[in-house]
Amino acid sequence: MWESLVCTLRHGVRNKKNVYEKSGKNQFKTRGFYSFKFRDYNCSVDFIRSTFLVKETVRESPNGTVLDEKLRLDELDATTPAYQTADIVVVNTGHWWTHPKTSKGLNYYQEGYRVHHSLEVMEAYRKALTTWAKWVDKNINPTRTQIVFRGLSLTHFKGGQWNSGGRCHRETEPIFNHTYLTEYPERMRVLEKVMSRMKTPVIYLNISRLTDYRKDGHPSVYRVRYDTEEERMAAGAAQACRACRTRGMSCCMPRCSRQAKVPGDYDRMVT
C-alpha cells in the first residue's frame, strides 16, 4: 500500500525531482525504515515496519542462528512513539498472524514474565490490538494526529498458500459471482470489537470485501525483491502488464489497470 501511495502522490507533483527518499535508498523490498520527502510541500510519507504492532524479540546465536522468538502481547513495538509526531497514521496488521509460529502459538506469546505454553491465535491477536488501542487512547492527541486502521486484504492463492507454492498471477478478471466470496474474516470482527471500545476516533478502512472480489488485483510476483535481472524478467513474463514487466510494480502503479488496482483503490480512499 505505501509504495502505491507514494507513487500516486508523486504522479500529481509537477517537479518530480523534488520527491526523493531521504537517505538515498532506491530498493524498497528490504526491511527497514523509508521516508519519502515531498520538498515542494514540506511533507513526507514514511514507512515504518511493525508487522504485529507489539514487540517481537529474537534471540540469536553468535553465528546468526535463531534460538528463540517471543511476541510480547503487552508491550508495543519500539517504533510506536513515531505516531505522536505524525499528522496521519495508517496502521494495519493481519497476514503475519497466519504464519505457522503465530498460528500454533506454542511457547511464543508472552505477557510480562509469563510465556503462554499454548494460546489461540485470535486471543493473542485481541490482546495485541488491545495493547495498541490503550496506548493510542493514552498517548495520541486526536486534534493533532488522525489514526486510520486499514483492514485485512484477502488472498486468492491457488495450488497452496503463500509459503507452499501458492500463486495468484495471470488472473485477468475479478470475481463476479458473490457465492465464491469468502466468509468475513474473524480477525476483522476482533478488530472491530477492540476499536468500538476506543476513546480516540479511528477511521476504519474496511477493504476486506473490496479485495475479496479482486483476485486479479494483487501485486503477485512483484511483491518480492529479485536479486538478478534474470529473476526479475522471469517473474515479469508471468504478467500481462507491459509497464510492470519493463519498470517494475512501483513505477507502473499509477497507470497499471490490474496489478495495482486494489492498493491504488484504497490509497485513493485515504487521500
pLDDT tens per residue across span 187-235 = 889 999 999 999 999 999 887 667 665 655 555 555 555 556 665 555 5
Q: Provide the pLDDT confidence category of residue 7 given band limits of 50, 70 and 90.
A: confident
Contacts 24+ apart (CB under 8 A), 242-245: none
Query: What would the mean pLDDT of 22-47 be, rounded to a whole number?
Result: 82
Query: What would the mean pLDDT of 134-159 be, rounded to a whole number?
Result: 84
Find the domain containing 13 and state its range: 1-44
Q: Provide the pLDDT confidence category of residue 169 given band limits of 50, 70 and 90.
A: low
Higher model confidence: residue 89 or residue 181? 89
pLDDT surpasses 50 at 175: yes
Q: Nine-digit cell at 154?
A: 484477502
Greatest Cα pair distance, the chain, in angstroms, is 56
Same domain, 59 and 129: yes
Same domain, 129 and 208: yes
pTM: 0.74
The mean pLDDT value of the chain amounts to 77
pLDDT surpasses 70 at 151: yes
> What integer pLDDT is reported at residue 232 of this predicted model?
56
Phi-psi region of 21 (alpha: psi -120 to 50; beta: other; left: phi over 0): beta
pLDDT surpasses 90 at 94: no
> What integer pLDDT is reported at residue 111 of this predicted model?
97
Q: How far apart are CA 256 and CA 265, in angstroms?
A: 12
Same domain, 9 and 88: no
Domain annotation covers residue 133: yes
Q: Which of 24-38, 101-115, 199-213 has the lowest mean pLDDT?
A: 24-38
Same domain, 56 and 28: no
Q: Nine-digit cell at 238?
A: 508471468
Q: Which residue has the cell 457465492?
A: 179
Query: What would the mean pLDDT of 78-90 be, rounded to a whole number?
Result: 92
Sign of CA dihedral 49, 266, 10, 37: negative
Q: Nine-digit cell at 9?
A: 502522490
Same domain, 39 and 168: no
Domain annotation covers residue 90: yes
Report which listed range, 56-70, 133-147, 172-186, is most confident.
Answer: 133-147
Same domain, 76 and 205: yes
Q: How far apart are CA 111 and CA 55, in angstroms?
A: 11
pLDDT surpasses 50 at 45: yes
Q: How far apart are CA 241 and CA 86, in angstroms?
A: 35
Same domain, 223 and 139: yes
Domain annotation covers residue 205: yes
Same domain, 193 and 115: yes
Total of domains in the chain: 2
Domain annotation covers residue 243: no
Domain annotation covers residue 249: no
Report which listed range, 22-26, 177-181, 214-218, is most confident.
Answer: 22-26
Same domain, 118 and 159: yes
> What integer pLDDT is reported at residue 29 of this predicted model?
57
Q: How far apart are CA 4 and CA 237, in angstroms?
A: 22
Contacts 24+ apart (CB under 8 A), 117-126: 121/97, 122/186, 122/187, 122/190, 124/71, 124/73, 124/97, 125/97, 125/187, 125/190, 126/190, 126/193, 126/194
Q: How far apart are CA 250 and CA 106, in angstroms?
A: 38
Domain annotation covers residue 250: no
Bridge partners of residue 167, in order along the sequence:
158
Residues 251, 147, 2, CA angle at the centre, nearest 5°?
10
Same domain, 167 and 142: yes
Which residue intervals of 58-118 are DSSP H helices?
A: 100-104
Same domain, 193 and 134: yes
Domain annotation covers residue 251: no
Domain annotation covers residue 258: no
Instruction: Tell me the pairing of strands 114-115 and 146-150.
Output: unpaired
Higher model confidence: residue 244 or residue 32? 32
Higher model confidence: residue 2 or residue 146? 146
> What integer pLDDT is reported at residue 266 of this predicted model?
60
> What integer pLDDT is reported at residue 234 of this predicted model?
55
Same domain, 98 and 208: yes
